[in-house]
Amino acid sequence: MVARRRRAGRPLIGITGGDSRLPWGWWFAAAAVRRAGGRPLRITPGRPLPGDTALEGLIVGGGDDIDPALYTGEDNGAPAADPARDRLELALLERALGDGLPVLGICRGAQLLNVSLGGSLYADIRPRRRLTSNRRTPLARKTAALRANSRLARICGTSPLRINSLHHQAMQRLGHGLRTVARDLDGIKQGVEAIDAPFRIGVQWHPEYLPRQRSQRRLFAALVGQARRRNLRATRNG
């Protein structure tokens, strides 16, 4: 990525999504990034990343199902929900991971992070639920237990977390270099992180819709903080 001039202290954080007329996820995630001291940049298939722009962090947002062919290797004949978005986000993830940028995957974004690293998904987890409801809601109606001493646990500062749930797919086999760090009462993976990267985290819930929870705000603050520290190191070494 070719960098244009950056504003000191306010890292540029790309936030991906679909080309929706009511981009609720973007609005809430952008507010969370601004509150944390970053500069949000909306990226969609219709609004791709400008060629002269260098991201300093990446949030892959929630949305439509991921094309099953990307994680099964087989075309089942069903049309992909948003193939242009799949291609865009996979390309952005490849570049961000290659450049060592801090990455946060939210819901679909966590799933795509997993798929981009060779993992797979459950296409529909509703039959697997026993102790939790299939009801989809942006309100914090479920819980997730965090793995002790994980980066996610240290960031959020509390366990279990009160979380929301808007998904019917979930991570199955983990991608290369990831470990499970949060599960719900049914044992479904709710959070993953890279074993050997400072900030490469995927959460199955939507922290942007829970701004009143300090633990959720801290997730965005940690992302922006990692981007800022990375920039300072690059400046000193440059």
Q: 117-148 pLDDT, tens per residue?
A: 999 999 888 888 888 878 888 989 999 999 99
Instruction: Give the whole-angstrom CA distance, residue 45 versus residue 217.
Output: 27
> Comparing C-alpha atoms, which of 84, 33, 60 is closest to residue 225?
33
pLDDT at residue 5 is higher than 50? no
Cβ partners under 8 Å of residue 180, min gap 6: 147, 174, 189, 191, 192
Q: Is 208 a known active-site residue?
A: yes
pTM (2 decimals)?
0.93
Specify the pLDDT at position 3: 42
Per-domain residue ranges of the chain: 12-237
Classify domain 12-237 at the CATH superfamily level.
Answer: Class I glutamine amidotransferase (GATase) domain (3.40.50.880)
Residue 147 has which token pair?
Answer: 């793995």
- Average pLDDT rounded to a whole number, residues 219-226: 98
Instruction: List the catalytic residue out of 156, 167, 193, 206.
Output: 206
Q: Is 74 a known active-site residue?
A: no
Q: 21-55 pLDDT, tens per residue?
A: 899 999 999 999 999 999 999 999 999 999 889 99
> Comparing C-alpha atoms, which of 88, 39, 40, 32 is closest to residue 64?
88
Instruction: List the catalytic residue out of 56, 89, 107, 193.
Output: 107
- pLDDT band, residue 173 (cuts 50/70/90): very high
Q: 183-213 pLDDT, tens per residue?
A: 999 999 999 999 999 999 999 999 999 999 9
Average pLDDT score, the chain? 92
